[in-house]
Amino acid sequence: HTVEGVGLARGERLLLERALANLLDNALRHAKTQVRIRVEEGALQVEDDGEGLPLPLEALAQPFRQGGPNRGSAGLGLYTAKRVAEAHGGRLLTCKTPLGGACLRLELPSAKEL
């Protein structure tokens, strides 16, 4: 697993930690062997080499929604990450990754913009 980059974002630390933990938990649960976190000013991406998202993000980010068989989750991870992003004036998006699996990007206002 790798972490690349550096950047700042302004927000409630505990909420942002929870959002990142949820994205990372999903990636670790669904990855075959690789998880990558990319950090840049006002954004972070969590990528994996798993099968990718089985449904559109809008569907998966609903409360208690799971994309497949229950793998020890309550179906609240992406919902929580999306709500945290929105509460901070940001958003949760899908993205492309050379790893071939899921890629979720949490965009927040840059600390430099505030």
> How many domains in the chain?
1
Report residue 15's pLDDT band, with 50, 70 and 90 as the boundaries. very high
- Evaluate whether residue 31 is within a structural domain: yes
Question: What's the CATH code of the domain at 94?
Answer: 3.30.565.10
Give tens-digit pLDDT for 17-76.
Answer: 999 999 999 999 999 999 999 999 999 999 999 999 988 898 888 887 666 655 666 678
41, HSE (Cβ side, Cα atoms, 13 Å)? 5
d(CA 100, CA 33): 12
Residue 69 lies in a domain: yes
Residue 113 lies in a domain: no
Distance CA 14, CA 44 (A): 16
Q: What per-residue confidence (pLDDT) applies to 11?
A: 87
Is the residue at 43 inside a domain?
yes
pLDDT at 108: 92
- Asked if residue 51 belongs to a domain, the reply is yes
Q: Tokens standing for 44? A: 């972070």
Backbone φ, ψ for residue 37 (5° rounding): -110, 125
Contacts 24+ apart (CB under 8 A), 74-81: 76/22, 77/22, 77/23, 77/25, 77/26, 78/22, 78/23, 78/26, 78/104, 80/18, 80/19, 80/22, 81/19, 81/20, 81/22, 81/23, 81/106
pTM reported for the whole predicted model:
0.86
Owning domain of residue 36? 2-107
